[in-house]
Chains A and B, each alone.
Chain A
Amino acid sequence: NAGVMQNPRHLVRRRGQEARLRCSPMKGHSHVYWYRQLPEEGLKFMVYLQKENIIDESGMPKERFSAEFPKEGPSILRIQQVVRGDSAAYFCASSHGRQATNEKLFFGSGTQLSVL
């Protein structure tokens, strides 16, 4: 049973380009979470999605950032017109269902985004 798969592992973009980060949850998991880890900072929640629905996007910047989790295929975190401040590690996590009080999250290895 493969874990949470994220790709690419490393992504380099120039300012103004678009970045697309992909996350395939663990088999049987239908809930996906995106977190961002800025240098020297803790992980910060960005968005929580179920299949075809955004449940909570309170941690995601209102502009340039969007996320989706289609019925088929991976979850996508999209950053338009990237700026240097977007450089960070982006982690995806998944869970089987709505995170019960004793349910663990399973994290992917992350995508390191570098904006030149």
Chain B
Amino acid sequence: KQEVTQIPAALSVPEGENLVLNCSFTDSAIYNLQWFRQDPGKGLTSLLLIQSSQREQTSGRLNASLDKSSGRSTLYIAASQPGDSATYLCAVRPTQGGSEKLVFGKGTKLTVNP
């Protein structure tokens, strides 16, 4: 059974700092891995999607890496801003099960202090 773990559960940093969020998954049989952002009272916004054959994806100040064999992904946020404060969710799409379900971690709650 696929399980996704995110560490740390919460993180507080001063504005301008570079930071790394971690995600690990137990089964390397995945189609892809996605990082989402969740703001309070709002839905999820997809930030980056990495296919299983890829090593990383970049979008602006965000960079996500994937090491499928070791079951790890990181989300790197450069020059953090207060507007980056949110909960960041990692999700994998397993190849097993014959469906399109995503398996989510519990998230990392990020607070960027001005």
Interface residues of A (CB under 8 A from B): 3-4, 6, 9, 31, 33, 35, 40-45, 48, 55-56, 58-59, 91, 93, 95, 98-99, 101-102, 104-110
Contact = CB atoms under 8 A, between A and B. Distances in A.
A42 B49 contact: no
Contacts of B105: 42
B99 A109 contact: no
B55 interface: no
B32 A55 contact: no
A43 B104 contact: yes
B31 A101 contact: yes
Contact of A102 (B4, B51, B101): B51
A110 B42 CA distance: 7
Contact of B43 (A41, A42, A102, A108): A108
A42 B44 contact: no
Nearest to B3: A42
Contacts of B51: 101-102
Given A45-B102, A101-B31, 5 more contacts: A3-B43, A35-B102, A45-B103, A58-B99, A102-B51
Given A42-B106, A99-B93, A104-B49, A48 B44 contact: no
Given A99-B93, A102-B32, A102-B49, A45 B101 contact: yes
A39 B97 CA distance: 26
Contacts of A56: 98-101
B25 to A, nearest CB: 12
Contact of A48 (B32, B42, B99, B106): B99
A4 B12 CA distance: 31
B106 A104 contact: no
Interface in B21-40: 31-32, 34, 36
Contact of A110 (B43, B91, B107): B43
A91 B44 contact: yes
Nearest to A100: B31
Contacts of A40: 106
A48 B43 contact: no
